[in-house]
């Protein structure tokens, strides 16, 4: 049975970096599921569509080319905001469920990060992590990321965006952001990325029965 590590959590909690480093450490492929929604949103906008148009967004999800995930523009703040809007559409989520499960189902396993991995996509994952941090800490991290990428924005604006995105992710009717049953809580508020990864690594190794 594939060894799957599910890493869930809100925006800028550190889950993406932790997932990537876990994949490198344990030799497992990694899927940033948020990129799927970012790519769908980008496809809708590129076609002149409305992000609230569920039929159009679902069609974009069905036609998604995996190579689109390599587009660096999907990492932008604007792409993340757009993704959170299409991710709230049930038709889009249902189209992408099997894509994610197929990735998780390959031997020897995989690491998937997102918001509903442990609750919906792979509820029987061998390891489930819920990575979080205070909204203020996440806003500061995102501010630094955007500055480094040349997308400077006021910290207050970034915090407001994070809080709004948290609300959309947690309040949506389908697959809301929740800590999965059995998921280990990893609060990274006061941890740098090396310490956060080390904590996650130890959790995975404990689940595997040792290094």
d(CA 153, CA 34): 22
Any idea which of 28-32, 109-113, 144-148 has the lowest mean pLDDT? Answer: 144-148
Residue 210 has pLDDT above 70, yes or no: no
Alpha carbon of 58 to those of 49, 52, 126: distances in Å?
Answer: 12, 11, 30
Confidence grade of residue 57 (pLDDT, cut at 50, 70, 90): very high
**What average pLDDT is seen over the chain?**
94
Predicted confidence band of residue 211 (pLDDT cuts 50, 70, 90): low
Q: What is the mean pLDDT of residues 112-130?
A: 97
Cβ partners under 8 Å of residue 159, min gap 6? 135, 136, 139
Q: Is residue 126 within 8 Å of 207, Cβ to Cβ? A: yes
Is the pLDDT confidence value at 58 over 90?
A: yes
For residue 150, what pLDDT is reported? 86
Range(s) of the domain holding residue 49: 3-208
Query: Does residue 178 have a pLDDT over 80?
Result: yes
Domain count, the chain: 1
CATH number at residue 31: 3.40.50.300
């Amino acid at each position: 049975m594939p060894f799957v590590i599910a890493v869930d959590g809100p925006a800028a909690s550190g889950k993406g970096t932790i997932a990537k480093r876990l994949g490198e450490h344990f030799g497992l492929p990694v899927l940033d599921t948020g990129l799927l929604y970012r790519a769908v949103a980008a496809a809708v906008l590129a076609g002149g569509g409305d992000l609230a148009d569920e039929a159009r967004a679902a069609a974009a999800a069905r036609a998604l080319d995996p190579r689109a995930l390599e587009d660096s523009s999907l990492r932008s703040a604007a792409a993340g905001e757009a993704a959170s809007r299409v991710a709230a559409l049930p038709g889009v989520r249902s189209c992408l469920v099997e894509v994610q499960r197929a990735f998780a189902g390959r031997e020897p396993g995989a690491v998937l990060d997102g918001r509903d991995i442990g609750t919906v996509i792979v509820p029987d994952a061998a390891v489930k992590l819920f990575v979080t941090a205070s909204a203020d800490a996440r806003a500061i991290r995102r501010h630094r990321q955007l500055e480094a990428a040349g997308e400077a924005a006021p910290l207050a604006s970034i915090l407001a965006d994070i809080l709004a995105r948290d609300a959309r992710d947690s309040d949506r009717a389908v697959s809301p952001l929740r800590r999965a049953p059995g998921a280990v809580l990893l609060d990274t508020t006061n941890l740098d990325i090396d310490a956060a990864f080390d904590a996650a690594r130890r959790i995975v190794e404990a689940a595997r029965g040792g290094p």
